[in-house]
């Protein structure tokens, strides 16, 4: 049930994004910029976590099996940092390309509509 609810929420988010890009491309671009601005924040958080794990690995005050187990968990967690950063970067590029393509399509539609309008005016 929770998975279904999560999927439904994701669909609503996607639908809202579609409405934004269709109605207001500037707002969509603003959302892309907000996501892009968060990437360095996320990278800093990951960097801090890596530093924390190194502190645990080289701890002079606490040695033992628990320390080694905790360090092992940190190392496992760190393996996810780069893929997450790359996924966010790819998503940002995808959104920017989507916006660029949308603007090009809208421009094409506008040009065709103008051309059609001029043809109607010439023939009247």
- pLDDT tens, position by position, 56-100: 776 666 677 888 888 888 888 899 999 999 999 999 999 999 889
Q: Tell me what pLDDT residue 21 has.
A: 56
Instruction: Take residue 112 and report the two structure tokens written for it.
Output: 């065709």
Q: Which of 20-34, 61-75, 99-113 has the highest mean pLDDT?
A: 99-113
**Residue 39 · residue 103 · CB < 8 Å:** no
Alpha-helical regions (H) of 24-80: 25-57, 65-78
Angle between helices 2-23 and 81-123 (to 10 degrees): 40
DSSP state string for 81-99: HHHHHHHHHHHHHHHHHHH
pTM for this prediction: 0.66
Instruction: Take residue 17 and report the two structure tokens written for it.
Output: 């994004």
Q: Rounded CA gap, 39 and 32, in Å?
A: 11
Q: Rounded CA gap, 77 and 56, in Å?
A: 14
């Amino acid at each position: 049930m929770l998975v279904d609810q999560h999927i439904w929420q994701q669909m609503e988010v996607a639908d809202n994004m579609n409405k934004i890009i269709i109605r207001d491309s500037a707002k969509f671009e603003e959302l892309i910029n907000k996501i892009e601005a968060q990437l360095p924040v996320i990278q800093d958080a990951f960097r801090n976590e890596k530093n924390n794990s190194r502190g645990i690995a080289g701890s002079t005050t606490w040695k033992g099996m628990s320390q080694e187990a905790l360090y092992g968990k940190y190392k496992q967690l760190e393996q996810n940092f780069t893929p997450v950063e790359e996924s966010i970067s790819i998503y940002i590029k995808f959104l920017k390309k989507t916006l660029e393509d949308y603007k090009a399509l809208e421009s094409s539609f506008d040009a065709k509509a103008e051309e059609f309008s001029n043809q109607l005016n010439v023939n009247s």
